[in-house]
Amino acid sequence: MKKIKVLFIYPESGYNTYNNISFKNGRYYHGIGILSAVIKKMGCITSLHHILNEFNAEKLNKKIIDFNPDLICTSSTTHMMMDVLKIGIFLDEYYKNIPSIIGGIIVSMDNELIHNIRGFHAAVIGDGEIALGEIVERMSEGLKLNELFSGISNIIIKNISNASIKVKCMDINTIPFGDRDIFKFENLDDYSWFKRLPMMSSRGCPFNCLFCANSVLSKYYDKNSYVRFRSADNICCEIEENLKKYPYINHIQFQSDIFFKDINWLKEFKTEYKERINLPFHCLLRIEQVNEEVISLLKDSGCELILMGVETGDEILRKKAGKNFKQNSILQAFNLIKKYNIKTGSFNIMGLPNETVSGLIKLFKINAQISPDLAQISIYYPYKNTPFYKEVEKFLIDKNQVYKTYFEKSLLEEKYLVNGFYYYYNNFLSFVTLYKNTNGFFKRKILDFRVKHRLISEGKLKNVKNSTFRIIF
């Protein structure tokens, strides 16, 4: 059988410069790493074209000529749409006879996209391991482009309608460990700069935030197949394998939307991880998951940082968004974590539908009260087909949603956002610091008035020394 050569393209541009931090060599992307591992196990040869800055047609052309792939696979998030369009046009003009597929969250969020962009013959929806495996198997048997994708699960073929799609997925504990070599992991910022190992403990999320991609993706899956957790043994085996290859790793970064399944899973993880790995790690939790037993187990396991979504300071808006917890619950959760000397991080979204200046002030205040060690401030991005998208669709500046990032520009018309939105966004951390350092009832009321009416100059705000800083997780 012929060894199939598969070229992956990953347009990371749009993320590598943020908040005056330059990510020169990029970060590891689990999707491509795992897919490469799956088809390498089948005998394929894989390579990666990692776009770190602006798309460069000459560089991609050279890569294709040098590698001479049988199949081209592009994986992307929604925020990389601009480069995806450019890649598609380039492939359509120069390499339309090479089978080309697109996957990642960009097409899973909008499965009609494949019919509206150039250069890609098919799209992979949801998990890609089974679909890609079937495609390369057909290629090794000599099937041509016109018969390559027909009848494969999780695949939408260009210009062929599909009434509905249900995806197939593998047992998460049987999937090969991600191929970090394809990224030259030793050169990535994850390793060379942060000395961290990015890991996933699960796929999917059991919660249903109305602004989040999970509210769309979960609909493709059967009831019990979307949210899946790896076993503690499986996780530790992958970490052990990578620690041998990359000896300077000093902490593990779990990037799953939800880190743990239940208390029994967490107990098993603590035993396995502490005995076999015993390195500090970071993870994401929901406010509702925090209690004394959970945090105690995480501390004993080696957890040094927990990040959680605060999202908005407006309780009504937060409930509407799918996070039904009160301000007091946020305070109690962060205080409990700090009690165990674990660092905290908050995720915050500005510009959610129907947000007000009063809501933003509440967001500054709650962050001042919880005083997180790290804070991420994002501008709300209306992901296609999410419940919130339908509310704001008519207010979109760009109906095609082609901006590269949701950190720097809103897609919503200025008149829909609160008055002076960018004033509040650009100075978020300065406001948090001001509220944290202002004591006394009357002083706080004066500060509320000045903030509400934008009576503090941006120049003065820039001189406020922030105790937290933005992060990309």
Specify the 3-state DSSP secondary structure of 281.
strand
Q: What is the pLDDT of residue 132?
A: 98
Q: Domain 5-157 class?
A: alpha beta
Give the 3-state secondary structure percentages of the chain, helix then strand then coil, rounded to 5. Answer: 40, 15, 40
Each domain of the chain, given as residue ranges in start order, spans: 5-157, 195-462
Q: Domain 195-462 class?
A: alpha beta
Percent of the chain residues past pLDDT 90, beyond the cut:
81
**How far apart are the C-alpha atoms of 255 and 73, rounded to whole Å?**
23
Residue 18 has pLDDT above 50, yes or no: no
The pair of structure tokens assigned to 8 is 């992956």
**How far apart are the C-alpha atoms of 113 and 152, rounded to whole Å?**
19
C-alpha 72, offset from chain centre? 23
Contact at 8 Å (CB) between 129 and 170?
yes
Residue 22 has pLDDT above 60, yes or no: no
Tell me the pLDDT tens digit for each residue of 324-339.
999 999 999 999 999 9
Specify the 3-state DSSP secondary structure of 162.
coil
**How far apart are the C-alpha atoms of 63 and 60, rounded to whole Å?**
5
Strands 122-124 and 155-157: antiparallel
Contact at 8 Å (CB) between 465 and 433?
yes
Q: What is the pLDDT of residue 336?
A: 98
Q: What is the pLDDT of residue 20?
A: 44
Average pLDDT over residues 427-432: 96
Average pLDDT over residues 361-374: 97
Q: 5-157 and 195-462 share one CATH topology?
A: no
Average pLDDT over residues 168-195: 96
Binned at pLDDT 50, 70 and 90, residue 407 comes out as low
Q: What is the pLDDT of residue 177?
A: 98
Q: Which helix (H) or strand (E) holds 452?
A: helix 441-452
Q: What is the pLDDT of residue 14?
A: 55
Residue 108 has pLDDT above 80, yes or no: yes
Average pLDDT over residues 337-359: 96
Specify the 3-state DSSP secondary structure of 282.
strand
Average pLDDT over residues 102-112: 94
Q: What is the pLDDT of residue 469?
A: 79
Please name the residue that has the structure tokens 């000397």: 341
Average pLDDT over residues 19-40: 85
Average pLDDT over residues 44-52: 97
Residue 418 has pLDDT above 50, yes or no: yes
Residue 411 has pLDDT above 80, yes or no: yes
The pLDDT mean for the chain works out to: 93
User: For the chain, how big is the Rg over CA atoms in Å?
Assistant: 23
**How far apart are the C-alpha atoms of 168 and 220, rounded to whole Å?**
9
Specify the 3-state DSSP secondary structure of 228.
strand
Lowest mean pLDDT, pick from 16-30, 126-140, 346-360: 16-30
Residue 112 has pLDDT above 80, yes or no: yes
Average pLDDT over residues 353-366: 96
Average pLDDT over residues 299-322: 96
